[in-house]
Amino acid sequence: MGMNTLMSTDFKFPGQKSVYKGKVREVYTLENDVLVMVATDRLSAFDVVMPKGIPYKGQILNQIATKMMKDTEDIVPNWLMATPDPNVAVGKACEPFKVEMVIRGYMSGHAAREYKAGKRMLCGVPMPEGMQENDKFPEPMITPATKAEKGDHDEDISKEDILKRGIVSKEDYEILEKYTRSLFQRGTEIAAQRGLILVDTKYEFGKTKDGEIVLIDEIHTPDSSRYFYADGYEERQEKGESQKQLSKEFVRQWLISNGFQGLEGQSVPKMSDDYIESVSNRYIELYENITGEPFVKSDISNLQERILSNVMDYLGK
């Protein structure tokens, strides 16, 4: 197959001041507090970037995130100004808060693993006794994580600790909480229209130069969120079966079954072209389910040139 993927970029935009390369996104800071965020096709799992890219993944994540930002801008302001290319979002530079606002409607993933280990508190929030994996919480719980420095794992933290350590001020934190709940409520409604359940997700926020708190980064994508299919959810819970989910959990499970969990001394299993194509197809399926729209593959014959020319056109205006 050997399809073109975008593994890294090295653009020189006019007025460029700095570049930050995250696990999946590359962020160019320009003069006038403008950010150009490029979503690559890199795939990260267990905080490790896989050696091969996934065709269309960057386009898929960028288009879901920008669509969801537009669908929530009436309730929470965000950083986005334009999407000049399928893989690119342009917006206002912000000072990011050093916490990720994770919100969970159901006991899945990390919460379920902690629960199985006997814990009944997560980030200072109690979890009721007698729950089984993937049960709905009585009400959504916010379980923040501190943003790790490069290469480290994000860590759970309680609201009390965030305030005590001065990571976020009390007044700002209350806004972050309020925005997180509003976004999760809206995300839940959007998901329900598509026959999906928004299980858990994370939001990141920043402050603009004018001191406005805005939503940044990605929102409601399969990389930042977990979705279940609503159809058959109850029956599967009653029978104690695992839920059908839409997230990148399928990649994690494949890695685990091939002996990789990002631990010391483990090496990433080889991904065949067929496997990579199957992951790409899963991401396309995720896109169509989450947005309710058919996915239109962009021209990937020369990704770097396409992105550069689209961004330069935008900046030229």
- How far apart (Å, rounded) are the C-alpha atoms in residues 191 and 246? 11
Instruction: Give the predicted TM-score (pTM) of the model.
Output: 0.89
Query: Within its chain, how far is the Cα of 160 from the centroid?
Result: 25
| pLDDT (average), residues 114-134 | 96
Contact (Cβ atoms closer than 8 angstroms) between residue 248 and residue 223: yes
One-letter amino acid at 12 equals K
Angle at the Cα of 6 (from 309 to 214), degrees rounded to 5? Answer: 75
Query: Which DSSP helix (H) or strand (E) runs through 20?
Result: strand 16-21
CATH fold label, 16-94+280-316: Phosphorylase Kinase; domain 1 (3.30.200)
DSSP-assigned states of every residue in 146-202: EPPPTTSPPEE--HHHHHHTTSS-HHHHHHHHHHHHHHHHHHHHHHHHTTEEEEEEE
Radius of gyration of the chain (CA): 19
**Measured between alpha carbons, how far apart are the two ends of the chain, in Å?**
38
Contact between residue 212 and residue 90 where contact means Cβ atoms under 8 Å apart: no
Residue 257's pLDDT band (cuts 50, 70, 90): very high
Q: Buried b vs exposed e over 226-263: b needs ≥16 C-beta within 10 Å? A: bbbbeeebeebbeeeeebebbbbbebbebbeeeebeee
Of 220, 182, 224, 213, nearest to 78 by C-alpha is 213
Q: Report residue 60's pLDDT band, with 50, 70 and 90 as the boundaries.
A: very high
Say what the pLDDT of residue 216 is.
Answer: 94
Percent of the chain with pLDDT over 70: 97
> Mean pLDDT in the chain?
94
- CA dist 155 and 288 (Å) reads 32
Residue 117, pLDDT above cutoff 60: yes
> Residues 63, 288: contact at Cβ < 8 Å?
no
Write down the residue that tokens 């989910």 correspond to.
245
Residues, the chain: 317
What are the boundaries of each domain within the chain? Answer: 16-94+280-316, 96-246
Dihedral Cα 255, 23, 63, 298, nearest 10 deg:
-80
CATH architecture of 96-246: 2-Layer Sandwich (3.30)
Tally of CB atoms within 10 A around 9: 18
Mean pLDDT of 71-85: 97
